[in-house]
Amino acid sequence: MKAKRTRWLAACALIAYSAILIKFVVFKAIPIVRIGHLRFRFAGPHTGPGNFVPFKTIVPQLIGHGNHFIDMVNLIGNIIPFMPIGLLAPFVFRSISWQRALVLGVVTGLTCEVMEVVFRVGIFDVDDVILNAFGVIVGYGVFVMFKRRAQPRLG
């Protein structure tokens, strides 16, 4: 009974978190953030060609071309928000493997990117899908790590 309740609560949390994620990732409305006299523009133009070349935007960000602060916000902002999906999914889908978690991450990232294009609120970027999937895998890895630590040690 307890396992069924845990699974149900995890499913509700996953659905609720997914809705919040879509709101903030797809329908983001943060064109300018002001800190004192400083202004940071995080959202770029919502039109133009998409990026279908893997690692085209990730590699320059990782090697330090461009604005380091904006690059780190982009990288972290495409990874961390997707980690809870990888953390919650194993509670809902008991037999999920890292391969299935990866597929879930790719599908989740693709869904967000396609929604941005369909609703004309962003541009498709395959690198965002890669980073989103990485976030799901990291979340899954955290789940596996805690599950192993929670299991009683045989000795």
Domains of the chain, by residue range, sit at 2-150
Computed over every residue of the chain, the mean pLDDT equals: 89
Per-residue pLDDT tens digits of the chain, which is 155 residues long: 888 999 999 999 999 999 999 999 998 765 566 778 776 665 555 667 999 999 999 999 888 888 888 899 999 999 999 999 999 999 999 999 999 999 999 999 999 999 999 988 889 999 999 999 999 999 999 999 999 998 876 54
pLDDT score at 120: 87
36 phi and psi angles, rounded to 5 deg:
65, -125
**pTM for this entry:** 0.86
One-letter amino acid for residue 138 of the chain:
V
How far apart CA 55 and CA 78 sit, in angstroms, is: 14
What CA–CA distances, in Å, run from 23 to 3, 40, 46, 49?
30, 21, 16, 23
pLDDT score at 42: 56
What CA–CA distances, in Å, run from 121 to 14, 47, 67, 96?
24, 8, 23, 32
In DSSP notation, 93-134 reads STT--HHHHHHHHHHHHHHHHHHHHHTTSS--BHHHHHHHHH
DSSP single-letter state for residue 51: B
